[in-house]
């Protein structure tokens, strides 16, 4: 069983993609709604909450957990993989993040290649990154992109209120206004360059993709993080078939779990994913 973890609804944008691609895989999603948003929390809190969430998914039987959250990936993924997992009692399991596949698509350089190589070495594109305050403060996207493409220009813009707006179900005009403000700030930072590509570096933001599309110049391409993550997971499962649910095992349809109030949380969900299963409370 593969687990997906996010602070709330955002990782559903990734889950939707994975459930289409891997209809034979048992997928379970855990949204830590009672602690969302993570993006304004300090780094240690995000690490602690992510560790607790991953532990719950392992205890439910997941052998692989994908952090379907940029904030959790940016702050906690490496720490969990390197420091926590080996001593956690779950050393036979694994944790993956979503920054690596996104950087691979943004740079066209494999994650394993960490030094600039021709022709990417000479790439001078401008790339915009929208994210939560915590993801932007972690600097993970500029660092990882510039390691591989040192001449690229990476501009970041934090969008502090968007996750809250999505989770609370703000009206579209209110969300559009905020997206417009953040997009203008990013473009102002880009000076006279139109960014070639933009990363929606928070899994909640694809839920507002059309608003970002209208607020950005036509020449700017939005990178599709859920697809990048799907491609990367497909490749990972081919190389690590031990994480694939064996054929013949009865697949439980996708399950959505929450630490929040399932009724209220499912209501917001139906705005974005009308035929999704309802959330259930995560077993304690
Ligand atoms: N979906 C999370 C992300 O990708 C949102 C974080 C939050 O809860 O603020 O960053």
Ligand 1 mutation target, pool 4, 5, 8, 161, most atoms within 8 A of CB: 8
pLDDT at 149 (0 to 100): 97
Please give the Cα distance from 229 to 235 (Å, whole number). 10
pLDDT tier at 123 (50, 70, 90 boundaries)? very high
196: which 2 tokens?
A: 């070639």
Active site residue 202: yes
Active site residue 77: no
Q: Is the pLDDT of residue 271 over 80?
A: no
Q: Is the pLDDT of residue 249 over 80?
A: no
Across the range 194-201, mean pLDDT stands at: 97
Each domain of the chain, given as residue ranges in start order, spans 2-97+226-281, 100-224
Beta strands in 7-144 (DSSP E): 27-31, 64-67, 94-96, 126-131
Helix or strand (DSSP H, E) at 142: helix 140-148
Q: Is the pLDDT of residue 101 over 80?
A: yes
What is 100-224's CATH topology? Rossmann fold (3.40.50)
Ligand 1 mutation target, pool 68, 202, 207, 226, most atoms within 8 A of CB: 202
Q: Is the pLDDT of residue 243 over 80?
A: yes
**Share of residues in the chain with pLDDT > 70 (%):** 100
pLDDT at 192 (0 to 100): 77
pLDDT tier at 275 (50, 70, 90 boundaries)? confident
Name the burial class of residue 171, with classes exposed (0-12), middle (13-18) and buried (19+) by CB atoms within 10 angstroms of its CB: exposed
Query: Per residue in 202-225, pLDDT tens?
Result: 999 999 999 999 999 999 999 999
Q: Supply the mean pLDDT for the chain.
A: 95
Query: What is the gyration radius of the CA atoms in the chain, in angstroms?
Result: 18
Please give the Cα distance from 178 to 172 (Å, whole number). 10
pLDDT at 8 (0 to 100): 94
Beta strands in the chain (DSSP E): 2-6, 27-31, 64-67, 94-96, 126-131, 153-158, 197-200, 221-223, 255-258, 279-281
Across the range 262-280, mean pLDDT stands at: 87
Query: Per residue in 5-32, pLDDT tens?
Result: 999 999 999 999 999 999 989 999 999 9
Q: What is the pTM of this model?
A: 0.95
Across the range 146-166, mean pLDDT stands at: 96
* Dist. CA 10 → ligand 1 center (Å): 6
Across the range 150-156, mean pLDDT stands at: 97
pLDDT at 112 (0 to 100): 94
Query: Per residue in 176-194, pLDDT tens?
Result: 999 999 999 999 999 879 9
Q: How many helices (H) and strands (E) does the chain have?
A: 12, 10
* Dist. CA 117 → ligand 1 center (Å): 32
- The mean-pLDDT minimum among 76-80, 105-109, 124-128, 264-268 falls in 264-268
Could you tell me which CATH number the domain at 2-97+226-281 has?
3.40.50.1860
- The mean-pLDDT minimum among 39-48, 231-240, 245-254 falls in 245-254
- Is 100-224 in the same CATH topology as 2-97+226-281? yes
pLDDT at 269 (0 to 100): 85
């Amino acid at each position: 069983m593969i687990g997906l973890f996010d602070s709330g609804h955002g990782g559903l944008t990734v889950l939707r993609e994975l459930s289409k691609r891997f209809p034979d895989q048992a997928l379970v999603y855990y949204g830590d709604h009672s602690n969302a948003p993570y993006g304004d929390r300090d780094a240690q809190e995000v690490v602690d909450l992510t560790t607790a969430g991953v532990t719950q998914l392992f205890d439910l039987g997941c052998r692989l957990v994908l952090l379907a959250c940029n904030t959790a990936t940016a702050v906690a993924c490496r720490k969990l993989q390197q420091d926590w997992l080996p001593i956690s009692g779950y050393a036979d399991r694994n944790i993956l993040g979503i920054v690596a596949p996104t950087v691979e698509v943004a740079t066209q350089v494999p994650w394993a290649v960490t030094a600039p190589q021709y022709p990417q070495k000479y790439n001078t594109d401008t790339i915009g990154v929208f994210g939560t305050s915590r993801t932007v403060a972690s600097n993970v996207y500029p660092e990882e992109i510039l390691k591989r493409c040192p001449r690229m220009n990476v501009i970041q813009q934090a969008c502090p209120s968007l996750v809250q707006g999505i989770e609370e179900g703000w009206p579209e005009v209110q969300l559009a206004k905020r997206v417009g403000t953040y997009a203008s700030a990013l473009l102002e930072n880009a000076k006279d360059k139109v960014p070639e590509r933009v990363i929606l570096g928070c899994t909640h933001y694809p839920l507002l993709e059309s608003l970002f599309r209208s607020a950005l110049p036509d020449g700017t391409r939005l990178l599709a993080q859920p697809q990048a993550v799907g491609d990367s997971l497909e490749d990972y499962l081919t190389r690590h078939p031990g994480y694939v649910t064996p054929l013949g095992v009865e697949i439980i349809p996708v399950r959505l779990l929450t630490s929040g109030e399932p009724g209220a949380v499912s209501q917001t969900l139906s705005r974005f994913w009308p035929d999704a299963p309802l959330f259930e409370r995560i077993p304690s």
